[in-house]
Structure 1
Amino acid sequence: MNHRAARRHAVSLLALLAALLLAVAGPAVQGHTSAGSARQAAAPPVTVTFRTVPAVPGVRLVFAGAALVTGADGTVSYTGARTAAPQSLRLLDTSIDTPDARYRFTRWAGQRDPDQTFRPRVDGLPLRADYTVTAGFTVQYPVTASFTDQHGTPLDRSLISAVEVRGSDARVTDLSVTGTTWLDGVQPVFRDSRLTPVPVDYTLRSLVYDGAQLADAGRQGFRPGTDRHLTFTGNFHDLTVTAHDALFGSATGDEATVTGPGGKVRAVALGPDHTAVLTHLPRGRYTVEVKAAGGSTSPREIQLSQAVTADVTVISRADVLLLGGVALLLVGLPIAVRLGLRRRARRTAAGPGSDTGARHATPDTGARHGSAGPRGPGAPAESAPTQRSEQPGEAREAEETPTKPSRPGATAR
C-alpha cells in the first residue's frame, strides 16, 4: 500500500509540473507565432509608376501581365506584391495620331538595361521596391507655308522648285510647297538622369524660285506647334537694260539677252530709246548682252540686290572703221617718214656735182691734149681720142683741177 501510494504521489507531482510548464511557456510561443504572422501580413506592396514625356494621355502598355493606360497627365501606376521574379514591360502604342499632333515613341529612361533603351519591350524589370519608368515621345506638328515678295504679293507656287528648313537638331527637311508637312516640334532629351522635352526650332535654309535662290540662310525662323502657318518672303527687283556706242556715246542696240540664276534666259526687245525694263526679277547674279546691227558687245555681269540699270557698251561698225583708220595712220605714218628720210639721205650722199660735171666734160677737148693751133698740110693726122663715159667722181675732179696754160711756141709732137 505504501508503495502504491508513493507512485500516485509522484505522478501527481509530474502532472503538476507539466501544467506549470505549459502555463508559463504557452503564451510566449503563441506570442512569437503571432508576431511572425503580423510582420508577414504588414509587408507593404511595391508600386511602379509609368510616365510619358511629354505627357501623352491614352498610351496603352502591359506590365507584369496587367494592362495599363496613361491618364490625362500621361502617367499610370502598378501596385503588386513584392517578388524577386523579373517582370516584363511592353508598350502597345508606339505611335499615336491626333488632328493637331503626332506622337512617336523614341526611348525609355529608368528601364535598368541600357541595351533595351530604344526597344518597345523591356524584360527583367524588378518588383522589390518602388521606382519609375519613363517613355519618351517625339511630337510632330503640322505646318503649311505661303510665299510672298517683300511687298506681300503672293508668289507663283508653280515656279517654286525647292523649300528646305534646318532644325536645331541639325536635320534638314523638305517642305511641301502646296500641302502640309509634319515637323518634329518636341524631342525627349536625356539630361541629368532624366528625360526632358525640348522644343525644336527651324530656319529657312533654301527657297528656289524660278531658278534663283531667295533664302537668306538662318534669317527666317519658326517653331512648329506655335507657328502652324508659315510665310516666307523673297526679294524681287527691277532690271533696266540700255546700251551706248563705245566711241560716240549715242544710245544703240536692238535686243537684250538676260541670263539669270539657274541659267534661265530672257530675251527682250529694246524700245525706241534703246532701253528695256525687266520687272520683278528674283535677286541674284545676272549676265546681260545687247545685240546691235553691225555691232558687238561683251557680256556684263551684275548682282541684282536692288533696282539696277545695266548700261552695255556696243562697238559699232563706225567704231571699227574709225579705229581701223587710226590704226592704219599710226602704223603707216612712221613707215612713210622713214622711207622719205632714206630717200633724202641717198640724195645727200650723191652730192650736187653730179649734174654740173656732165656739163663741163665736153668743151675744148683739144686743149687737154696740148693742141696749139691748126695743123700744117704735111702734118700727119692724129687719131681721134677714145670716147668713154665719165664717172661722177671724174667729172668732179676735172671740174675742180685747173687747166694749165700751154707754153708759147710749143708744138705738138
Structure 2
Amino acid sequence: MNRRTARRHAVALLALLTALLLAFTGPAAATQPASAAPTPAPQPASAAATVTVTFRTVPAVPGVRLVFGGQSLVTGADGTASYTGPRTAQRQSLRLLDTSVDTPDARYRFTRWAGQRDPEQTFRSRVDGLPLRADYTITAGFTVQYPVTVAFTDQHGAPLDPSLVSSVKVRGSDARITDLSVAGTTWLDGVVPVFRNSSLTPVPVDYTLRSLVYDGVQLADAGRQGFRPGPDRHLTFTGAFHDLTVTAHDALFGSATGDRATVTDPAGHVTTVSLGPDHTAVLAHLPRGRYTVEVKAPGGSTNPREIQLSQAVTADVTVVSLADVLVIAGAGLLLLGIPVVIRLRRRTRRTAAYPAAPGTHARRSAPAPRQPVPEEEPEQPEGAEKGSPTSRPGAATRC
C-alpha cells in the first residue's frame, strides 16, 4: 500500500466517524449554538383561542333564559350564566328570552343592560354586535315588584268602611305617583336597578301616602305615612276623625238659643241637625277638615262660622234674635232722636226770646234789631249853605 492509498483510507474513515457523530447528536444540536437557551414547549392550541362571557342579573334572578352565539343559557340560583367559545372576530348577538319572571312573592321586569357597549341598545331585549376577543361581563337589570294590599282605620284603630274610600295615591322616591287598589292587590316597584359608576346597583323604593279621599273628604296628611314594599306587604292607612259640638247663644243677652244647625263639610255635603233642649247638638266621628256651621233660630239670623276640625271642637254660634233687633233699633232711634230733641228745644227758646209780630207766623226766631249807621255828609264847597241844592250829590247847578 502506497502513501496515496493510505491517505484515501484515512479520509474515508474520518468521513465515517463524522457521519456517526451527526446521527447521534441530531441536526438541531449540530446547528444550534452552545450558549442558546432551550426553546419553550408550545401551548395547547385550545387554551389560547377561547373566550368566556359572563351574564349576570341584578338583583339575582334564577331561571332567566337567554341565547348567545347560538347557545341557550339559563341563570342559576345566583342569577348568573356563562358562555365559553373560540375567539373570533365575528360579532355575536344576545337575546333575552324572559323579559319578565313571576313568582308568588315578586315579579321581575327587565329594565336595561349594562356592559352591552352600544348605548342605543341599552333598553332592548336583543343586543347585537357583541365581540368575542376577550373575557367580559354583561349585566341585565330587573325591576322587582311586590304585592301590596291596604286597609283603613281612624286614629284609635277603629276600621273605616272601604266602600267610602274613593281614591288612594302614593308617591315613590322615584317621584312617580301611583294609584292603589282599595279592595284588591297592587304590585308596586320595590327595587329598581340604578346605573352608577359603570355598573348596575339594586336600589329600594320608598313610598309616602299623598292622598286618601274618604266620603269625598281628604284625610291624608301628605308625607307623614311612609312604607317600603316587600314580600307579603299589608298596609294600614290612618285617617283622623273628631267630634263637633254645635251650640248657640243670643247676641245681647247671652242666653242659649236656636233650634237647628246646618253643617257643611269640606266636600260640600250639608247636614242639618236639631238642637236639643239645651240648644246643643253633637256630630260624632267627622273627618278632619274645614267646616261651616250655621244655626237657625225663630226670628233670628246668624252669619256662617268656619271651624277647622283638627281636634274635638265646640262651635258656639252667635244668634241675633228678634229681641236683639228691637233693642238695637230702639237704641238707634234714641241716638238719632237726642240731637233732634236738642235742636227743637233750642228753637223753642229762641222763639220765646224773640216773639213774632202779631198776625204773622215766624218760621224761625227773629234776630235782634240792628242800629242804623249814620251816613257821612259830603264835603261842601266854600260859600255854600247847608241844605242848598249844591249840597246834595247829583243835583244840577243852575246858571
Paired residue for 1:269? 274
Amino acid at match of 1:24: P
Preserved CA contact (<8 Å) 2:166 2:214: yes
Paired residue for 2:230? 225
Question: Aligned to 1:150, which of 143, 155, 160?
Answer: 155
Paired residue for 1:279? 284
Paired residue for 1:344? 349
CA distance in 2, matches of 1:27, 1:47: 44
Question: Aligned to 1:130, which of 131, 135, 156?
Answer: 135
Q: Residues 284-341 of structure 1, C-alpha deviation per residue, up to 9 Å, x if partnerless?
A: 1000001111110000001101110000011111111111111111112211220121
Amino acid at match of 2:330: G
- 1:45, distance to aligned residue in structure 2 (A): 1.6
Structure with the bigger percentage of helix = 1
Paired residue for 2:116? 111
Distance 1:257 1:42, change over 3 A: closer
Paired residue for 1:166? 171
Distance 1:129 1:327, change over 3 A: same
Question: Aligned to 1:78, which of 83, 86, 109?
Answer: 83
Q: Does 1:293 pair with 2:298? A: yes
Amino acid at match of 1:265: V
Structure 1 consecutive aligned stretches of length 4 or more whose deviation exceeds 4 Å: 19-23, 25-29, 34-39
Q: Which moved more, 1:66-75 or 1:339-348?
A: 339-348
CA distance in 1, matches of 2:184, 2:141: 29
- 1:350, distance to aligned residue in structure 2 (A): 2.6
CA distance in 1, matches of 2:64, 2:281: 66
Question: Aligned to 1:47, which of 49, 52, 66?
Answer: 52
- 1:97, distance to aligned residue in structure 2 (A): 1.1
- TM-score normalised by L of structure 1: 0.77
- TM-score normalised by L of structure 2: 0.79
Amino acid at match of 1:45: T
- Over aligned residues, Cα RMSD in angstroms? 2.6
Flag the structure with larger Rg. Answer: 1
Q: Residues 355-389 of structure 1, C-alpha deviation per residue, up to 9 Å, x if partnerless?
A: 9xxxxxxxxxxxxxxxxxxxxxxxxxxxxxxxxxx
Q: Which runs of 5+ in 2 are unaligned?
A: 1-10, 33-38, 359-367, 369-399
Distance 1:289 1:41, change over 3 A: closer
CA distance in 2, matches of 1:161, 1:245: 41
Paired residue for 1:68? 73
CA distance in 1, matches of 2:187, 2:152: 18
Distance 1:302 1:42, change over 3 A: closer
Secondary structure at the counterpart of residue 271 of structure 2: strand
Q: Does 1:243 pair with 2:244? A: no
Secondary structure at the counterpart of residue 261 of structure 1: coil
Q: Residues 225-254 of structure 1, C-alpha deviation per residue, up to 9 Å, x if partnerless?
A: 167000111111000000111111111111
Distance 1:38 1:153, change over 3 A: closer
